[in-house]
Structure 1
């Protein structure tokens, strides 16, 4: 996906969150223990604001960030909708190659567009599930999210990936995409093909992304190989 596609996803999923939250701000969010829908809306809005400021160069990193005052529930959704549109418009006006602080290997606005899209998409699923309107994450953004998790998120956890390595293959049948990753001995590395994988998980792209982010169990997915290797992998991926 290109940055412009990520921003289309951000705008779409932000408004879906707001629509789902209308009149339901006090509902609990089962996939985010301890949160109500209002907390989810606030969190996503703050994340979008933070990354917008970083992309524009107003912040050089989290050390300069000060969280704004939280609006009351009667103003929260209007604040969120306006903020989401402002963030998308701001990011759309920047060159994706523009340098910016990130926690990933790519230090540019393109990384930020993708991260904001993925954060918003997963929390959109959280919000919809909280109001009994659960539905899969859109295929393209879900497949992109699996790729981001394996290629950007996991490598950032490398210091916590000590111990024996295992190789895990993830297969998204609905989009015809496979990923194979070797995790352990202090690193996470995408490799080619499924040959030599200790365990293979086959599911939709949405279910694979939700599995990686701890939103769904693996017990009703197709798991071939060593289940223990998958559990070690998932335990290491939790943070």
Structure 2
């Protein structure tokens, strides 16, 4: 497991959350529909992300997953909602801004540290900043190193945890098979999907099926925020299987 320096995540969290706040103060922005989240407005997205901040901050404080039904969902009214979001941001920022190696609860056994949450909240906020920009008709810009780190997080952390735990309930077929190399920004991952399990290794892959291209394009594809335009695909069937399981893992 390789993380970026914690300061990089904190700077990204601050910048992207600040961008969300700036954009949502534009008249009419909160009522805009979010293309990647059918049925959601930008206000719904802000409420969701603020709730994520509060839930994860409380989980770290408790040393276990906080009850989902106890998370503050924010007030009514645009100004009150944005003020609440800023407070939620300050809460998670105070939690993830400490020593990244300090022990902390997380859902990923391989990384039980505060640094896990600095990374997770930076990546979560990046994706939702893109959501807001797309809702407002703006072209998103994603830093290459942060995007490659996000691809790594989705493949190495999300997919192997989500597939055996929740894949069946999400309708993933147990006969799915794929062996795919994923490459971006000079990095490569070997991904094997076998029914309701996934084995992912960072490093050179001998897979014939392959998806490669700019890290930002791959990250947005993995999160369902963009199609496959802008990168190369070899072996459409295997890549389609990977996209299917990623769709579930990133919901």
Which residue does 1:109 correspond to in 2?
114
Q: CA, structure 1 residues 217+81, in 2 after alignment: closer, same or farther (shift >3 Å)?
A: same
- Aligned mate of 1:222, from 197, 208, 232: 232
RMSD: 2.0
1:61-140 matches, cutoff 5 A? 61-63=65-67, 66-71=70-75, 72-100=77-105, 102-105=106-109, 106-140=111-145
Q: What are the equivalent positions in structure 2 for 1:1-239 lying under 5 Å apart?
A: 1-22=4-25, 23=27, 24-57=29-62, 60-63=64-67, 66-71=70-75, 72-100=77-105, 102-105=106-109, 106-159=111-164, 160=167, 162-172=174-184, 175-191=185-201, 192-195=203-206, 197-218=207-228, 221-224=231-234, 226-239=235-248
How far does residue 119 in structure 1 lie from its aligned partner after superposition? 0.7
1:139-187 C-alpha deviation (Å, 9 max, x unpaired): 1221111000111000112323733532111222xx3222221121443
For 2:40 and 2:163, how far apart are their aligned partners in 1?
A: 29
Q: Kindly tell me: are residues 4 and 56 of structure 1, through their superposed partners in 2, closer, same or farther at Cα, counting changes over 3 Å?
A: farther
Q: CA deviation at 1:86?
A: 3.2
Output one character per residue of 1:82-134: Cα deviation in whole Å (capped at 9) or x when no partner.
Answer: 3213321332135533131x222223222121111111110011111111222
Does structure 1 retain, via aligned residues, the 8 Å contact 2:48–2:73? no
Q: 3-state DSSP class of the match of 1:238?
A: helix
Structure 1: segments with no counterpart, 5+ residues? none
Greater CA deviation, 160-169 or 135-144?
160-169
How many Å separate the matches in 1 of 2:107 and 2:139? 31
CA distance in 1, matches of 2:90, 2:144: 23
C-alpha distance after superposition, 1:189-216 (max 9, x if no partner): 2243232x13211221111111111111
Instruction: State how far apart, in whole Å, the 2-side matches of 1:107 and 1:214 are.
Output: 27
Q: How many residues align?
A: 233
Instruction: Using structure 1 for the length normalisation, give the TM-score.
Output: 0.89
